[in-house]
């Protein structure tokens, strides 16, 4: 039967301020609704490499779900307050422990390459919380990100429905791409992504880690429905 196969993993993002809250979220969430756990360490107050290491070990003692390690810059919607050198050090120190490490495409190449070299696998990400750039601009990022990392990811803000169509076109034209049109206007791209071969779709566990996210239960149920 003609159709599509869905191999998308649902990623639940944990965005908490300290180890206790992170572990509380982990132990109260339904792990059946996720395939990956994103640990957003930029939301941890006064975060250090040692803190992140200890949290990762605690998570891995509790579940085998693969971890995506993210330390998001403020420029791209995150909360990390330190220097880029400090941000990259936290990622490099802990990247060998986890399945994927997320590094922003816009990071200075010498720092970006340090993370790529330290990581098992990388997600090369680009976020624009102000607009949806021109399609060719995004295509260029996707192509270069695909060359330097394992999964290219773009997450951009739509102002019109036509903006969201750009994301649809990019998903049609690229395999293995995580492409998100944020806000409510773009929420449907989080569901279309799995049909288009996206390897990961991000969902919220408690509070959302980005505008327009569905929660992990909704996302998993929809994907199950699409697969049936």
Ligand X SMILES: O=C1C[C@@](O)(C(=O)O)C[C@@H](O)[C@@H]1O
Residues that bind ligand X (CB under 6 A): 13, 38, 40, 70, 102, 125, 127, 153, 155, 180, 182, 202, 209-210, 213
Q: How far apart are CA 24 and CA 94, in angstroms?
A: 21
Please check if 38 is assigned to a binding site. yes
Residue closest to ligand X (Cβ): 210
Q: Which is nearer to ligand X, 2 or 130 (CB)?
A: 130
Q: Of residues 16, 127, 157, 174, which has the active-site annotation?
A: 127
For ligand X, give the closer residue by CB, 112 or 127. Answer: 127
Q: Is 24 in a helix, a strand, or coil?
A: helix
Contact assessment for residue 156 and residue 127, using Cβ atoms and an 8 Å cutoff:
yes
Q: How far is the CB of 3 from ligand X (least distance, A)?
A: 26
Nearer to ligand X (CB atom), residue 194 or residue 228: 194
| 209 has binding-site annotation | yes
DSSP secondary structure of 36-80: EEEEEGGGSTT--HHHHHHHHHHHHHH--PPEEEE---GGGT---
CB of residue 129 to ligand X, shortest distance in Å = 9
Determine if residue 40 is labeled as part of a ligand binding site: yes
Cα dihedral across residues 75, 76, 80, 83: positive or negative: negative
Nearer to ligand X, 114 or 125 (CB): 125
- Shortest Cβ 206–ligand X spacing (Å): 13
* Cβ 11 to ligand X shortest distance, Å: 8
Q: What is the largest CA-CA distance in the chain?
A: 54
The alpha carbon of residue 88 and the mean position of all alpha carbons in its chain are separated, in whole angstroms, by: 17
Q: What 3-state class would DSSP assign to 131?
A: coil
Is 99 among the annotated ligand-binding positions? no
Q: Which residue among the candidates 16, 89, 153, 157 is catalytic per the annotation? A: 153
Q: Scanning the structure block, which residue is given the tokens 């941000």?
A: 87
Could you give the CA distance from residue 178 to residue 7 in angstroms, rounded to a whole number? 13
Residue 127 is a catalytic residue: yes
Q: What is the DSSP letter of 122?
A: E
Q: Is 190 annotated as a binding residue?
A: yes
Least gap, CB of 135 to ligand X (angstroms): 19
Distance CA 226, CA 219 (A): 11
Q: With respect to ligand X, which residue has the nearer C-beta, 40 or 89?
A: 40
Residues belonging to the active site: 127, 153
Binding residue positions for 3-dehydroquinate: 13, 38-40, 72, 190, 209, 213
């Amino acid at each position: 039967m003609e159709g599509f196969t869905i191999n998308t993993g649902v990623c639940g993002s944990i965005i908490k301020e300290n180890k206790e809250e992170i572990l509380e979220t982990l132990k109260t969430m339904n792990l059946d609704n996720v395939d990956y756990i994103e640990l957003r360490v930029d939301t941890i107050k006064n975060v250090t490499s040692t803190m992140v290491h200890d949290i990762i070990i605690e998570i891995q003692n509790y579940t085998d779900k693969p971890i995506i390690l993210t330390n998001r810059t403020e420029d791209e919607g995150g909360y990390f307050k330190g220097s880029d050198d400090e941000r990259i050090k936290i990622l490099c120190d802990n990247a060998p422990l986890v399945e994927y490490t997320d590094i922003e495409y816009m990071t200075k190449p010498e720092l970006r390459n340090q993370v790529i070299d330290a990581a098992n696998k990388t997600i090369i990400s680009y976020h624009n919380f102000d607009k949806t750039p021109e399609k060719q601009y995004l295509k260029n990022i996707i192509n270069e990100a695909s060359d330097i990392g394992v999964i290219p990811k773009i997450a951009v803000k739509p102002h019109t429905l036509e903006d969201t169509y750009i994301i649809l076109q990019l998903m049609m034209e690229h395999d293995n791409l995580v492409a998100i049109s944020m806000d409510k206007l773009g929420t449907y791209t989080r569901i279309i992504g799995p049909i288009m071969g996206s390897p990961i779709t991000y969902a919220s566990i408690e509070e959302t880690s980005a505008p327009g996210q569905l929660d992990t239960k909704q996302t998993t149920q929809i994907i199950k429905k699409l697969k049936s």
